[in-house]
């Protein structure tokens, strides 16, 4: 590939930009597992240059203990260092990460990044730059931490037409949902605890509103279907509206509620959506608890395969960063002229698969309808659903809570647009005394777990 990478050297020479959790974890892992890595790769990986915004005492000590000879605060010094063959971008954010990655690629260096936001939102600009410069832009660590899901989708399942994938891809949200379910606690309460434990940020919006999950889903959806990265078209709904009552009612019906990212190819186009989802308790995916991640992928030949493990943490994420480094090293050692794998798994991305608006998806639904406790209420509600062509799979009427009684309905498959109309009509009924909570239900037909 690039001239720089064909320099002969005993070791693979990398530079690291950003020494936060993942960057520092990468340094430590390269040190701890250096013997094993050398046995696998056939050469050592040497960090020759590192940059960090704050070169404090602790980081100086880390750099020294890992034998990094050159360090500073300027990522562009790393990127422009002719010694560096591969740049690891673990700064996060867009600025200066975008320019750093762009410059590295333009300089003919391979890049390994853990930055899901950058790729999901600006990958459509960066991947062509990598291709034009004949270098690898690798990103296993950007989705589901240590789980090698990018490799599975792009390589392991390459013989399949991917029908759909569904994942628990944000550990913070899954921790909160797990705690809410296990202890009947409410969202705000568990969020506070998650923040104290360091599982959630001071500003938790990215995690609890589904933005982080949407970034990851965007990347997986692109590889699954060979479409451009489409973050802005991904429907995103968080978990802050889920109540302990919803979890309990769902449980009565045999379901748990998980925050899922779902990508599905249909005859009309691609669904890309992140939202709370009812899932039969018997599914493996329903049993992934705490900060764990798991992705279920359905291919037309293989059927359903599941990938599960830690989705975050310094060492787990560094495991994926270093796997990418080893992969690039192996490709360079093989003397290949071009990257072996197209970054997103397809030689040419498709332009014939539009992303559907959420209004155009079809789903089964859970509805929690706060109604007055009067004879004839159920008849009124079911009639409106019938008028909107929505058929009912199950109804339960719960015990009255103060002056109203929650009616829980599971519907069969219906178009979201249709359901929205039905909900408006239901909320206009005099017997309905508040807004209706709607949660999508995923039966995962054809799943094999």
- Positions 209 through 268 that interact with a copy of itself (CB under 8 A): 226
Q: Do 75 and 51 form a contact (C-beta atoms < 8 A)?
A: yes
* Nearest approach, Cβ of residue 152 and a copy of itself (Å): 5
Size of the site for a copy of itself (CB under 8 A): 72
Q: Which stretch binds a copy of itself (CB under 8 A): 77-85, 240-248, 270-278, 302-310?
A: 302-310
CA 404 – CA 416 distance, rounded (Å): 26
Nearer to a copy of itself, 81 or 140 (CB): 140
- Whole-angstrom distance, CA of residue 12 vs CA of residue 431: 70
Q: Determine if 446 is a binding residue for a copy of itself (CB under 8 A).
A: no
Region binding a copy of itself by CB under 8 A among candidate stretches 61-69, 101-109, 285-293, 417-425: 285-293
Strands (DSSP E) contained in 11-58 are 11-17, 44-51
What is the closest distance, in whole angstroms, from the C-beta atom of residue 393 to a copy of itself in the complex? 25
Do 393 and 366 form a contact (C-beta atoms < 8 A)?
Answer: no
The answer to whether 301 and 159 have CB atoms below 8 angstroms apart is: yes
Site for a copy of itself in 112-131 (CB under 8 A): none
278 backbone dihedrals φ, ψ, rounded to 5°: -80, 135
Q: Counting contacts by CB under 8 A, is residue 334 touching a copy of itself? A: yes
Query: If DSSP codes are grouped into helix, strand and coil, which group holds residue 414?
Result: strand
The reply on whether position 416 binds a copy of itself by CB under 8 A is: no
Residue 107, Cβ neighbours under 10 Å: how many? 18
Residues 15 and 430: their CA atoms lie apart, in Å, by 66
Minimum CB separation from a copy of itself for residue 408, in Å?
27
C-beta closer to a copy of itself: residue 107 or 308: 308
Closest CA to 407 of 368, 353, 375, 354: 368
Pairwise CA distance, residues 390 & 195, whole Å: 41
CA gap 9, 291 in Å, rounded: 41
Stretch that binds a copy of itself, among 86-94, 251-259, 336-344, 402-410 (CB under 8 A): 336-344
Catalytic option among 102, 116, 216, 233: 216
Main-chain phi, psi angles of 336, to 5 degrees: -65, 145
| Sign of torsion over alpha carbons 234, 239, 241, 247 | positive
| Residue 210 or 310 having the CB closest to a copy of itself | 310
Could you tell me which stretch among 154-162, 171-179, 268-276, 370-378 binds a copy of itself (CB under 8 A)?
154-162
Q: Which of residues 344-383 bind a copy of itself (CB under 8 A)?
A: 345-348, 350
Neighbours of 348 (CB within 10 A): 7
Region binding a copy of itself by CB under 8 A among candidate stretches 9-17, 148-156, 377-385, 418-426: 148-156
Residue 163 touching a copy of itself (CB under 8 A): no
| Interaction of residue 33 with a copy of itself, rule CB under 8 A | yes
Give the separation between CA 266 and CA 353, rounded to whole angstroms: 9
Question: Among residues 29 and 137, whose Cβ is nearest to a copy of itself?
Answer: 29
- Binds a copy of itself by CB under 8 A, chosen from 44, 129, 326, 429: 326
Q: Could you tell me if 45 and 14 are in contact, meaning their C-beta atoms sit under 8 angstroms apart?
A: yes
Interaction of residue 16 with a copy of itself, rule CB under 8 A: no
Residue 202 touches a copy of itself, criterion: CB under 8 A: no
The nearest distance, CB 376 to a copy of itself, in angstroms, is 44
Near a copy of itself by CB under 8 A: residue from 89, 327, 416, 442: 327
Does 37 engage in binding with a copy of itself (CB under 8 A)? yes
DSSP β-ladder status, 392-397 and 404-411: antiparallel
Q: Which of 92, 156, 244, 443 binds a copy of itself (CB under 8 A)?
A: 156
The correct pick among 77, 253, 302, 433 for binding a copy of itself (CB under 8 A) is: 302
DSSP characters over 335-351: T-SS-SS-TTS-SS--S
- Residue 333 interacts with a copy of itself (CB under 8 A): yes or no: yes
How far out from the chain centre does Cα 109 lie? 27
| Residue keyed to tokens 């397809």 | 346
Q: Say whether 233 is catalytic.
A: no
Give the active site residues. 216
């Amino acid at each position: 590939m690039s001239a720089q990478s064909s320099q002969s050297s005993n070791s693979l020479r990398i530079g690291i930009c950003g020494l936060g959790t993942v960057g520092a974890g990468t340094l430590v892992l390269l040190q701890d597992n250096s013997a094993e890595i050398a046995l696998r790769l056939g050469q050592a990986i040497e960090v020759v240059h590192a940059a960090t915004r704050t070169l404090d005492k602790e980081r100086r000590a880390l750099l020294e203990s890992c034998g990094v000879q050159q360090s500073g605060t300027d990522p562009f010094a790393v990127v422009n260092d002719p010694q560096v063959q591969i740049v690891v971008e673990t700064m996060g954010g867009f600025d200066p990460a975008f320019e750093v990655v762009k410059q590295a690629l333009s300089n003919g260096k391979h890049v390994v990044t853990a930055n899901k936001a950058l790729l999901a939102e600006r990958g459509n600009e960066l991947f062509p730059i990598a291709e034009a410069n004949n270098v690898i832009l690798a990103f296993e660590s950007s989705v589901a931490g240590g789980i090698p899901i990018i490799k599975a989708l792009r390589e392991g399942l390459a013989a399949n037409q991917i029908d759909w994938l569904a994942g628990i891809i944000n550990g913070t949200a899954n921790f909160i949902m797990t705690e809410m379910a296990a202890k009947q606690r409410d969202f705000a309460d568990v969020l506070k605890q998650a923040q104290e434990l360091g599982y959630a940020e001071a500003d938790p919006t990215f995690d609890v509103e589904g933005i982080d999950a949407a970034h990851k889903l965007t990347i997986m959806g692109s590889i699954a279907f060979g479409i451009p990265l489409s973050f802005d078209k991904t429907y995103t709904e968080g978990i802050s509206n889920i109540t302990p009552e919803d979890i309990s009612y769902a449980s009565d019906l045999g379901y748990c509620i998980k925050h899922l990212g779902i990508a599905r190819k249909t005859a009309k186009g691609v669904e890309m959506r992140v939202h709370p989802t009812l899932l039969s308790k018997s599914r493996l995916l329903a049993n992934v608890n705490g900060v764990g991640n798991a992705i279920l992928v359905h291919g037309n030949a293989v059927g359903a395969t599941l990938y599960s493990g830690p989705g975050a943490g310094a060492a787990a994420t560094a495991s994926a960063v270093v796997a990418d480094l080893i992969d690039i090293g192996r490709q360079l050692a093989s003397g290949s002229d071009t990257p072996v794998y197209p970054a997103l798994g397809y030689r040419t991305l498709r332009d014939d698969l539009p992303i559907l608006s959420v209004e155009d998806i079809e789903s089964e639904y859970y509805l929690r309808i706060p109604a007055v406790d009067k004879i004839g209420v159920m008849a009124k509600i079911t009639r409106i659903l019938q008028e909107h062509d929505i058929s009912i799979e199950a109804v339960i009427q719960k015990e009255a809570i103060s002056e109203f009684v929650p009616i829980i309905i599971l519907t069969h498959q219906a178009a979201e647009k249709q359901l929205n109309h039905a909900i408006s009509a239901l909320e206009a009924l005099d017997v309905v005394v508040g807004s209706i909570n709607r949660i999508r239900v995923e039966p995962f037909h054809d799943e094999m777990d």
